[in-house]
Chain A
Amino acid sequence: DTAVSQTPKYLVTQMGNDKSIKCEQNLGHDTMYWYKQDSKKFLKIMFSYNNKELIINETVPNRFSPKSPDKAHLNLHINSLELGDSAVYFCASRLGGANTEAFFGQGTRLTVV
């Protein structure tokens, strides 16, 4: 069983469209994240949720809206896609606490054309 699973793995779409990426974890973790990895492999946190509550929102445009229906799921919806949104988006989860590791999904490669 995959611990953190994201769908879809690849997403190609036109500018201006709205798209969603789904993430589910079966580890029983309390905290989930979305990270964005750019073409130079730089990873930047976007959002963090703890038990369905938004904890971190790191200066992400309003076009990005996370939704956590329960603590096992954290979805990312993006409105009015722009070329600059092209990147790999990673979902991650962790149990919480400073010493715990984060488990990452396989990533969703978003290409906006």
Chain B
Amino acid sequence: GDSVTQMEGPVTLSEEAFLTINCTYTATGYPSLFWYVQYPGEGLQLLLKATKADDKGSNKGFEATYRKETTSFHLEKGSVQVSDSAVYFCALNTLGGSEKLVFGKGTKLTVNP
């Protein structure tokens, strides 16, 4: 079945460091891809998405590019802030009749001042 693999955390960075969280997927066809963020004690919220190959999603300084050839959707940010500390989830939308979001295991990011 469809699945998402993202890098294990936790990831700890200093403020203004560069962030990469790797995400690869296995799916039938070309699903839409998403990054969700979960701040402490809250639900998930969409960070960015890409719906077809070579699309780049971006939001709040975060970016991810849909790479069909490597089946990847890595999340990047050039300069992280303390307020970016959260758990990040890569997800894909399964195609076909029973649409659902399949999530990776999440990567906890802590940014220190």
Q: How large is the interface on B (under 10, 10 to 19, 20 to 34, 35 or more residues)?
A: 20 to 34
Residues 50-66 of chain A, each 1 if its beta carbon lies under 8 Å from chain B, else 0 = 00000110000000000
A90: nearest chain-B partner, CB-CB = B43
Decide yes or no: A96 and B99 within 8 Å by CB, A90-B44, A104-B43, A106-B43 being known contacts: yes
**How far, in angstroms, from A107 to B43 measured CA to CA in the complex?**
6
Whether A40 and B105, one on each chain, are in contact in the complex, defined by CB atoms closer than 8 angstroms, is yes
Q: Using C-beta atoms within 8 Å of the partner chain, give the interface range for chain A.
A: 20 to 34
Chain A residue numbers with a CB within 8 Å of B102 are 45
A-B contacts, 12 listed (Cβ < 8 Å): A41-B106, A42-B103, A42-B105, A42-B106, A43-B106, A48-B99, A48-B100, A98-B32, A99-B32, A99-B93, A102-B101, A104-B45
Which of A4, A45, A101 has the most C-beta atoms of chain B within 10 angstroms of its own C-beta? A101
Indicate if the CB atoms of A98 and B93 lie closer than 8 Å: yes
The proximity string for B residues 57-78 relative to A, scoring 1 for CB distances below 8 Å and 0 otherwise, is 0000000000000000000000
Q: A residues within 8 A CB of B44? A: 43, 90, 92, 102, 104
The chain A residue with its CB closest to the CB of B9 is A41
Query: B43 touching A105 by the CB < 8 A rule?
Result: yes
Which of A10-33 touch B at CB < 8 Å? 31, 33
Residues of chain B within 8 A of A96, CB atoms compared: 99
